[in-house]
Structure 1
Amino acid sequence: MNPHDALRVVLVFLVAAVVAVPLARRFGLGAVLGYLLAGAAIGPWALRVVTDVESILSFSEFGVVLMLFVIGLELAPTKLWALRQTIFGYGALQMAGCALLIGALAAAFGASWQVALVAGLGLALSSTAIALATLGERNLFATPAGKASFGILLFQDIAAIPMIALLPMLTFDGSQPADGPAWIGAARAVAVIAAVVIGGRYLVRPALRFIARTGMREMFTAFALLLVVGIAAMMEAVGMSMALGTFLAGVLLADSEYRHALEADIEPFKGLLLGLFFMAVGMSIDFGVMAQQPWQVLGMVAAVVGAKVLVLRLLAPRFEIARGQRLLFALLISQAGEFAFVVFGVARSAGLLPENIAALLVLVVALSMVTTPLLLLAYDQIVAPRAGKLRQRADDTIEPQDNPVLIAGFGRFGQIVGRLLYAQGIGVTVLDHDPDQIDFLRQFGFKVFYGDATRMDLLEAAGAAKAKILVVAVDGMDESLALIDRVRQRFPHLRIYARARHVSHVYLLKDRGVELFEREMFEGSLMLGRRVLEGLGLDPAEARAAAMKFRRHNIAAIDRFYPHYTDQKTMVSLARQARDELEEMFRQDREQRRRREEAEWS
């Protein structure tokens, strides 16, 4: 490919990505699917803007190599050890269950044992890119479903490496290989891996220290690429997969004290390189197969996705996933993954998959990726609302209470208040709308009732007519204000102590006559700032004085700003004035401290 053609290909790739990926994200299909669609659109089966599939496959290989390097770079040994049960326990069960079921289905429809094995292993892998992006968008990483999904995906990424490396060995037919007995090739591979591990431990770290002393940060990236290419070439020379070598290179750097610097340098390129890989895969999909046998293709996609959903749904209770998230967990990783493209490519090169079967499986993988956003959309629109109605419970029947304090909302904020009062022997009645949270807290002896605190009849049953104080600690600002408005009308004697999310919430509380409030992050942030000052060597007494001065100034500024908070121009002017005043106060403090120190030395 001459320079002009190469420039044209790069331009076409960039234009296709910029057009297709934002559109795919706009319609909720995800960036990976956008890249696949972009590659398919410019490939030989659509617009035919780029037809040299072999050249594009070289881009694909380079993208896989660097993707594996990034994965290895993130797998520090301590992280693997902390997640060992989730990764190797959950991941192994998922891989075994899905591979066995899919392989059995393939064999039942007449596939040879080699094809069934390759199909089962390849299709058992899920898309790390699609699943992790979805977990992030839905804020599910901290949930049991998110943790189980992450562990399974991590295991799959690890398992794909030896899988790719060992597939060519299935072609052994008893004849003597051209380069000698098989045990010699295996010994060479073991020797190279040992050399990589030992050399990396004793040579990579000193090399990185030497590069760090030069002060040239870009050399980190150059050294990383050198390590990747060098180790990959060594692995290829002994007949092993370059992917395995790339992964080892990443792991070696993950154990280095310079890993974060390398990650910072490579991170901007990570998404683009993965995009190039997916676009190359999209171009290589043979849509002629879809046209020739559409029902067979769609049936295979349904069988693969259905089999994975079934296995994952059955395993979800064993993974300690909450009942309401089990189907969502199964749908999240029900698709085939990007590594399946690599597995089928290696199997095809090794003669394990005929060309037509390999093309069919690649198409199934791509189409299964399309099903994930569609299935999640159906889940959100159909399944989740019905499941929510089934999980709804009637408000608790509250016996007449006469505690002096009511707490509306018993999350992280409300719990601190309630525990403090409880420890002092003060009676508290708590209302919350999270049934799981209530059942959990009741195990520890808290008297918590399920119900909507904005319902005046429930508040009255909870003892609002006799109580002295209402603590409003609900999460939502709108819910908080609505509750306060109703309480002011129905129970005007109740003193209201409120949780404020931010300064704007404070102003709205003051509009309602609420003067007893605490901003949920202010005091903790101020205390941490004080600790930072102490950590920088400031005397603890001076650090406390500085923090208290900042606190007084901030509270005074809120009181001064409040009459004008609806006037944007006045607010900007007052904010600048307050900032200048604070800077002047701290300047005077520094000047006084300097004079005092000079007097002590004179």
Structure 2
Amino acid sequence: MAGEVVAHAAEAAHHGVDLVPVVALLAAGALAVPIFKRVGLGAVLGYLAAGLLLGPSGFGLISDPASVLATAEMGVVLFLFIIGLEMEPSRLWALRKQIFGLGMLQVGTCGALLTGGGVILGFAPVVAFVFGMGFVLTSTAIVMQILSERGELATDGGQKMVSILLLEDLAIVPLLAVVALLAPSSDDVSILTRLVSLGVALGAILLLIFLGRRIMNPFFAILAQAKVREVMTAAALLVVLGAALLFQVSGLSMAMGAFLAGVLLSTSTFKHQLEADVEPFRGLLLGLFFLAVGMSLDLDVVGENWQIIALSVVAYMLVKASAIYVIARLLKSSHGEALERAVLMGQGGEFAFVLYTTAASSGLIDGPTNAIFTATVIVSMVLTPFAMIGMRYLMPKHVQSMDGVEEVNGLSNRVLIIGFGRFGQIASQPLLALKYSVSIIDNDTEMIRAAAQIGFKVYYGDGTRLDILRAAGAGAADLILVCTNDKVQTTRVVELLRDEFPLARVMARAFDRVHAIELVRAGVDFQRRELFDSAITFGGEAIRQMGADEQQIADVIEGVRDRDRERFELQLNGEDWRVGRNLLISNARDQAREGGVTVDEDDAEAAARQSAQQPQPG
């Protein structure tokens, strides 16, 4: 069946653009990624699995994965450019010890251990060196994508991994030079050629630095005056791809060229515009890169050499991850941070393909050996998302320090406040100002210690536990304020209070209209959506800035409150939209008339229907 599709696509290509591969790639990404993310396997694994199905080892819709991979590497290039935009030179300089200290230590140690492992597996020392050093180069795309998804790029642990990845990207240059030196021919001419190549590479770096510091900002300033969005987008891509091309023809890494261009533009006034222009292409091409890696996995090669590939994957990932963990622990990283770095960086990466291809073309390794090495790296990349899932069960549980924190026990005051975040802190102040006796509990020890520094006595306790509520004096309190910032937690506390302490009056912080209705039905005496009053005050100030007088502001705000109250009652009672149709249309007319606007009857009715049927988030 797949063969017929491919044949049909080939025939169609004679009459125009062959859209079958394009549609197949887009469909694979659009379908696989949401499914894999929903089941907790992550976007990267979704792309890899979809690519495997589309490639020669699957349905065969894509017969030349190498061509797709060559294009998709632009995704890595654009990703490194965006990372560079976030790395101002001063910040990069601050990371120099991590880049050249931690990075070189990890690359050197792992390279030596993996080379030794290759010799033990039976490879010649030179071949083992190529195999091991290629595997040392972690997948920048996978690590960056996972860190980005989890919002950890700016954390201390994330910055260390980014620093190591930068050093590994730099390491591809001397590694390619070493492979050339190890190649069979080593005459004087070739040595001179290599010296010239080194000079060209240094010249490319200096040229890009000059262009970035002197030319790019004025260039974008001129383009910005034209006020044509697509021109700015084209210029952004020109800078990224131009820097990548400059480094590529100089024998350097395209990704490093894009990264350096990003760093040079990180202080530019056009930084955010550039990021916004490049981001859509980055996401699409990076997804295409993972699809191409999945397609490149040749199951026939894996099947024919499964023993050596399986042994190599397990041995290399374990050796590399163990070395990374030990280095991290020796440098005072916590167990959790060291374990995460070891698992996340334990695989090979896309730069290994470059190194292995270069070694094969220079005669250091043969074609079948190159296929085995490449398959080993790809399998390790495929296994990384699974390893991340398994890591969750090995990560140490976060235990809050109880230093300086007193657990709740035997309190008995007129008012009990549960949750002392931003909302609870403000809500408590009128009560304390009038000298009411107030008990406060929260389950965040850091917040409790911070509150103690400014004079608040907050006890440690989880309001969703009945024994804690009793110890906090819920049975004796006249009024209980539930100010927790989690909807599920707030509703659970209210339900416990309603069932166990029915005489206490309960007020609760609501997240939105739907949650407010849920709390009223759960039995609270009063609820307030957390942003409702501040948003009304904000809107009132907006019309004051536009020229409204104080009486107009008061009338308009009161009208907004009345309409909200009426709509809330309708939704609370679950009434059909027709019940409140006339009232809501009338309110819409009144509100529009105040602003001098004519309201169409059908529009008002549609608004009424939508308003009553779909509770608004506010």
The question of a shared fold, defined as TM-score above 0.5 by the shorter chain, is answered with yes
Cα distance change, pair 428–261 in 1 and its aligned pair in 2 (3 A): same
Counterpart in 2 of 1:360?
A: 372
Report if the CA contact (8 A) 2:477-2:504 is conserved. yes
| Equivalent residue for 2:73, pick from 64, 71, 78 | 64
- Worse-matched range after superposition: 229-238 or 216-225: 229-238
| Equivalent residue for 1:164, pick from 163, 167, 172 | 172
Deviations 1:245-269 (A, max 9, x none): 4444444555543343343333333
Mapped partners of 2:204, 2:440: distance in 1? 65
Matched residue of 1:336: which SS? coil
Cα distance change, pair 327–124 in 1 and its aligned pair in 2 (3 A): same
Counterpart in 1 of 2:489?
A: 479
Counterpart in 1 of 2:284?
A: 272
Matched residue of 2:411: which SS? coil
Matched, 1:299 2:311: yes
Counterpart in 2 of 1:18?
A: 27
Cα distance change, pair 263–314 in 1 and its aligned pair in 2 (3 A): same
Counterpart in 2 of 1:105?
A: 114
Counterpart in 1 of 2:231?
A: 219
Report if the CA contact (8 A) 1:22-1:31 is conserved. no
Cα distance change, pair 241–328 in 1 and its aligned pair in 2 (3 A): closer
Matched, 1:496 2:502: no
Mapped partners of 2:359, 2:549: distance in 1? 65
Cα distance change, pair 350–480 in 1 and its aligned pair in 2 (3 A): same
Mapped partners of 1:326, 1:6: distance in 2? 56
Deviations 1:446-500 (A, max 9, x none): 5444444244443232223443331101233343234334434543443323211
Report if the CA contact (8 A) 1:127-1:336 is conserved. yes
Matched residue of 2:201: which SS? helix
What RMSD over aligned residues (CA atoms) do the two structures have, in Å? 4.4
Counterpart in 1 of 2:569?
A: 563
Report if the CA contact (8 A) 1:197-1:252 is conserved. yes
Report if the CA contact (8 A) 2:75-2:288 is conserved. no
Cα distance change, pair 583–391 in 1 and its aligned pair in 2 (3 A): same
Matched residue of 1:270: which SS? helix
Report if the CA contact (8 A) 2:98-2:163 is conserved. no
Cα distance change, pair 435–229 in 1 and its aligned pair in 2 (3 A): closer
Give the AA of the match of 1:57. A
**Displacement after TM superposition at 1:32 (Å):** 3.2
Matched residue of 1:569: which SS? coil
| Equivalent residue for 1:196, pick from 208, 212, 216 | 208
Say how many residue pairs are matched: 573
Counterpart in 2 of 1:123?
A: 135
Give the AA of the match of 1:556. D
Matched, 1:462 2:472: yes
Matched, 1:207 2:213: no
Cα distance change, pair 419–458 in 1 and its aligned pair in 2 (3 A): same
Report if the CA contact (8 A) 1:21-1:38 is conserved. no
**Displacement after TM superposition at 1:502 (Å):** 1.0
Give the AA of the match of 2:166. I
Cα distance change, pair 296–232 in 1 and its aligned pair in 2 (3 A): same
Counterpart in 2 of 1:598?
A: none
Mapped partners of 1:234, 1:37: distance in 2? 34
Report if the CA contact (8 A) 2:445-2:460 is conserved. yes
Counterpart in 2 of 1:431?
A: 441
Report if the CA contact (8 A) 2:138-2:348 is conserved. yes
- Worse-matched range after superposition: 319-328 or 92-101: 319-328
Report if the CA contact (8 A) 1:67-1:274 is conserved. yes
Give the AA of the match of 1:281. V
Deviations 1:259-314 (A, max 9, x none): 43343333333233223333333343343432233232222222333345435555
Matched residue of 2:293: which SS? helix
Mapped partners of 2:525, 2:222: distance in 1? 60
* TM alignment of 1:315-330, pairs within 5 A: 327=339, 330=342
* TM alignment of 1:151-550, pairs within 5 A: 151-170=159-178, 171-172=180-181, 175-178=187-190, 180=192, 182-228=194-240, 230-311=242-323, 313-314=325-326, 327=339, 330-349=342-361, 354-379=366-391, 398-417=408-427, 428-434=438-444, 447-511=457-521, 514-526=524-536, 538=546, 542=548
Report if the CA contact (8 A) 1:454-1:486 is conserved. yes
**Displacement after TM superposition at 1:18 (Å):** 1.3
Give the AA of the match of 1:213. Q
Give the AA of the match of 2:181. F
Q: Which runs of 5+ in 1 are unaligned?
A: 589-602
Cα distance change, pair 512–571 in 1 and its aligned pair in 2 (3 A): farther
Report if the CA contact (8 A) 1:431-1:452 is conserved. yes
Matched, 1:150 2:158: yes
| Equivalent residue for 1:581, pick from 573, 587, 590 | 590
**Displacement after TM superposition at 1:333 (Å):** 4.4
Matched residue of 1:203: which SS? helix
| Equivalent residue for 1:553, pick from 553, 556, 559 | 559
**Displacement after TM superposition at 1:158 (Å):** 2.9
Mapped partners of 1:298, 1:70: distance in 2? 31
Mapped partners of 2:137, 2:397: distance in 1? 31
**Displacement after TM superposition at 1:104 (Å):** 0.7
Matched residue of 2:189: which SS? coil
Identity of aligned residues (%): 28
Deviations 1:134-164 (A, max 9, x none): 4566xx426xx97245324533553344223
Mapped partners of 1:50, 1:35: distance in 2? 14
TM-score under structure 1 normalisation?
A: 0.78
Report if the CA contact (8 A) 1:221-1:266 is conserved. yes
Give the AA of the match of 2:560. N
Q: Which runs of 5+ in 2 are unaligned?
A: 1-9, 598-618
Matched residue of 2:577: which SS? helix
Cα distance change, pair 238–495 in 1 and its aligned pair in 2 (3 A): closer
Cα distance change, pair 475–271 in 1 and its aligned pair in 2 (3 A): same
Mapped partners of 1:335, 1:578: distance in 2? 63
- Worse-matched range after superposition: 70-79 or 295-304: 70-79
Matched residue of 1:172: which SS? helix
